[in-house]
Structure 1
Amino acid sequence: MEGKEELLKELSETYRKMVRKFIVERDKILIEGSVTLPQFMILDKLKLEGPKKVGDLGKELDFTSGAITAFCDKLVKGGYAIRKREKDDRRVVNLEITSEGLELLMRYEEVSGRFQEALFQGFNEEELQTQLIFYRKILGNLPHMSKAILELVAEKQQKGGAS
């Protein structure tokens, strides 16, 4: 069992490092000096799907509410997007891409493909398929992770703390 515990520990640490490094590297990418890759992704989604509520964008792109708001504020400030109220319900505000945002996407249309190629370079198709299987399993496990740990903590607290 010692071998499996050590392997799980190493996998967990490597996974955390990978996620942190991914975010650090992703956030180094600035397009025309001011547009981050996440902002570029937001613009691309708006181009493909039309105006959206900021909260919906955050959920669809897996950004926290604070992050998506900050990204969208900067896009508006840069002139790449605007906020517009819905005609039928003035309380609802959508983010919409501007002509400047569309022009930016057109100038850098190969960014998404290059990003994916750089991230997964060196893997053959079979290895990519295997990774996809693993990532889907991890995604399936994530919603249960906090529950499992919280149950353990509650159990330990009921017994009078860790032993």
Structure 2
Amino acid sequence: MDERKHLIYEFTRSFRYLVRTVRQDFAVEFEGYIPYNEFTVLRALEDDRTLRVSDVARRLNATNSYVTLTSEKLVQKGYIIRERSDTDRRTVYLTLTEAGINLVKQMDEIVYAYYDKTFGNISNEEMNSVINILKKFKPIERDIS
């Protein structure tokens, strides 16, 4: 295997390991809260508080049906409200409730503490380097924030 192929293999293996480990860790960290996939929908609503299902899907790089299914669970739990548009019945809006806002704040603290601990041995300069490298990927040309 030539060096470039080996490096690509090692990079993708390390990246997959990181993603898998973070998901597993969040399952533990979020015990007693909501699953990570539901949290991401709430988080997508955090800044605007009300968005169309299609806008949430775009932010998450997900399908409308995924957001619809996930949002139904969040409606049942009282974290969001789903409302159809008065002018276009095909358009559905999702709005964070106060309970949803509070939950996002609590879970954001858990996420920040986890990442702070996990990446504690990485300097700001190293972190900026990794961010800049990740932004060079063609599949990640969209906003990743």
Q: What range is the shorter-chain TM-score in?
A: 0.7 to 0.9
Quick one: which amino acid aligns to residue 102 of structure 2?
Answer: E
Q: 1:9-158, aligned counterparts within 5 Å?
A: 9-30=9-30, 33-108=32-107, 110-138=109-137, 140=138, 142=139
CA distance in 1, matches of 2:123, 2:99: 38
CA distance in 2, matches of 1:106, 1:11: 33
Q: Is 1:80–1:100's contact at 8 Å kept on the other side of the alignment?
A: yes
Q: Is 2:29–2:110's contact at 8 Å kept on the other side of the alignment?
A: no
Structure-2-length-normalised TM-score: 0.75
Are residues 66 and 118 of structure 1, via their aligned partners in 2, closer, same or farther at CA, if it must alter by over 3 Å? farther
* Corresponding residue SS for 1:121: coil
Post-superposition shift, 1:35? 1.3
Post-superposition shift, 1:80? 0.8
CA distance in 2, matches of 1:60, 1:84: 19
Structure 1 equivalent of residue 143 of structure 2: none
Larger radius of gyration: 1
Post-superposition shift, 1:66? 4.9
Q: Is 1:54–1:69's contact at 8 Å kept on the other side of the alignment?
A: yes
Quick one: which amino acid aligns to residue 24 of structure 2?
Answer: V
Structure-1-length-normalised TM-score: 0.69
Quick one: which amino acid aligns to residue 3 of structure 1?
Answer: E
Structure 1 equivalent of residue 4 of structure 2: 4
Higher RCO (CA < 8 A, seq sep 6+): 2
Deviations 1:90-140, CA, capped at 9 Å, x for gaps: 3311111122222333555523432432342211011011101111112x2
* Bigger helix fraction: 1
Counting aligned pairs with the same residue, the percent is 26
Structure 2 stretches lacking a partner, 5+ long: 141-145
Post-superposition shift, 1:84? 0.6
Between 1:58-67 and 1:82-91, the stretch displaced more is 58-67
Are residues 41 and 11 of structure 1, via their aligned partners in 2, closer, same or farther at CA, if it must alter by over 3 Å? closer
Q: Is 1:52–1:96's contact at 8 Å kept on the other side of the alignment?
A: yes
